[in-house]
A and B are shown apart, each in its own frame.
Chain A
Amino acid sequence: MAKNLPPVWNKIAKHAMMPETNHDERARYNFLASLNKHLAHVSQGNKMAYEKRVEPAFKAKNGRNIASVEELQEAISKDSHYQIWSSLRRSTMEMRQQAGRSIVLRQAEELRDKAEGFNKGKSTLVLDPNCKVPEYLLAVDNHLMPGSYHTELIEGDVTPAANYDSGIFVTTAGLLGRYNDGGGKAITSWVKKTYPDFAPKRILDIGCGMGHNVLPIARAFPNAEVIAIDTGAPMLRYAHARALDLGVTNVTFMQMDAAKTIFENESFDWVQSTMFFHETGGKSIYKIMNEVYRLLKPGGLTLHIEQPQYTNDMTLFEKFIRDWDALNNSEPYWSKMHDIEPIDLMQASGFRKEDFMQIGAKAENDLDDGTQKAEEPEDHGRSPIWNVFGAIKN
């Protein structure tokens, strides 16, 4: 049997907000998931090309080794394997956006109406037209998603979230599970196991997006009041409708900037973020962490699921290839954020060094039926293995 097949797209869970797809649209997603997986394997060739061709040629010409990521970039950019891999990967990511948008934009009104059906008159969705989209989100369309999380092509638009929900399967080749919530599930299990007596009354999720990762937390603590904030109204409308359809009613979705929330000091037991900080900005990241500190009760817990951390013992090549996505899949702040040590970020906000923690987390994947067990080369883009950092506030 072939190894490492991504699951077919129709395995992902259907809920009322999931856009309708026809045969060809599903097939297109299947093709792109396989192509993405293929390129993750082919990317191993970059290392080979680097070691066998690029480095020796540089040495022969300059009489010394490549000394910086910049020199490496300059040298490898002329290598034909690197060139074809890069253009194929870029093209795959652009096609993924095109495929998703072609599905959701043709049914923008129907999706909007479905969301309104769930959302109308509910106190658990609080939109604020005066909430400003942070300037770092206006500066770039993260992961090549035209219009980012906030743009509304029609009034009451939810298509950015519908596109995200239906297509994240492609970029992760199905490794996040049927509800794309492998990250939220992993963190919930870890918290339950590590702090069996922890009974949070109020939980805040910042940058919740379409809400997929906050739902496992809300389910695990059904008596907790969960608040999920985001600046993108389309994300929140979709997230709220999706949560209600999936039977989760203890989450309030609010449009709010995480750097300046309206909540009182020391009013949360747990502040969570998932894949959030690497899409913020160099000043905002500190402001947001200050806010996290302010909002946490003494003894409260904060955890942040992030992209794998850079370490000093990484080779130049590893550092370089990890930045590939940051720059060429438009996640620019990711290329800067790894210069900040999480512990320094947290200490700058008042957390104590001895309360800092850092763990690894792997997505809990309910789609895994054994066909994915084969040796998986690390995909430097969207690997489901993350770095989690956080602290208890004391």
Chain B
Amino acid sequence: MIDHIKLASSKSKGKRPYFHEDPAVERVLNITMAIAGELAVMRERMDTMERLLEKKGLVSQEEIDAYVPETKEEETQRQEWHSEYISRVLRIVQQEMEELENPDKSIADIANDIDKM
């Protein structure tokens, strides 16, 4: 059997062009676009589920669209989810800020420090 997962992502012949000064930008953009794609795929699946639920008379799309949290607890749970999600996605920005606030030594320096401890 062929390794279909690996082969599906094979490179084509010819040097890959990079358009930004720093290839890292290109790399991150490509990863981000792949995730954007998977989000669209997920959204389409949700759409299918909502429509099937409606067809079977279980939940209507209006009900879903009109839904708002009904208790304080539900409100908090939702907002907590958003907060945690955003923090997870923007982790690196937060860490860069922490570093700015609290300039750190490099781990190599710390190793030298520890060596003397």
Q: What is A's interface to B at a CB cutoff of 8 Å?
A: 23-24, 27-28, 30-32, 35, 77, 82-84, 86-88, 90-92, 94-95, 97-98, 101-102, 105-106, 108, 139-141, 144-148, 153-154, 327-328, 330, 332
Contact = CB atoms under 8 A, between A and B. Distances in A.
B37 A95 contact: yes
Contacts of B13: 139-141, 146, 148, 330
B47 to A, nearest CB: 9
A146 B12 contact: yes
Contact of A95 (B19, B20, B26, B34): B34
B45 A105 contact: no
Interface of B: 2, 4-5, 7-14, 16-20, 25-26, 29-30, 33-34, 37, 40-41, 44-45, 48
Q: Which DSSP category, helix, strand, loop or mixed, fits chain A's interface?
A: helix
Contacts of B25: 87
A102 B44 CA distance: 19
A98 B17 contact: no
A330 B15 CA distance: 10
A38 to B, nearest CB: 11
A140 B26 CA distance: 22
Nearest to A89: B19
A98 B8 CA distance: 5
Contacts of A141: 12-14
A108 B1 CA distance: 9
Contacts of B41: 24, 27-28, 31
Contacts, number: 93
A172 B18 CA distance: 24
B27 to A, nearest CB: 10
Contacts of B26: 87
B12 A145 contact: yes
B10 A146 contact: yes
A144 B48 contact: no
B17 A101 contact: no
B35 to A, nearest CB: 11
Contacts of A83: 19-20
19 contacts: A24-B44, A27-B44, A31-B40, A35-B33, A35-B37, A77-B19, A87-B20, A87-B25, A91-B29, A91-B30, A95-B34, A95-B37, A98-B8, A102-B8, A105-B4, A106-B4, A140-B12, A146-B11, A154-B2
A153 B2 contact: yes
Given A28-B37, A31-B41, A97-B12, 20 more contacts: A23-B45, A35-B37, A77-B19, A87-B20, A88-B33, A90-B16, A92-B33, A95-B34, A105-B8, A108-B2, A139-B13, A140-B13, A140-B14, A141-B14, A146-B13, A148-B13, A153-B2, A154-B2, A330-B13, A330-B14
B45 to A, nearest CB: 6
Given A83-B19, A94-B30, A102 B14 contact: no
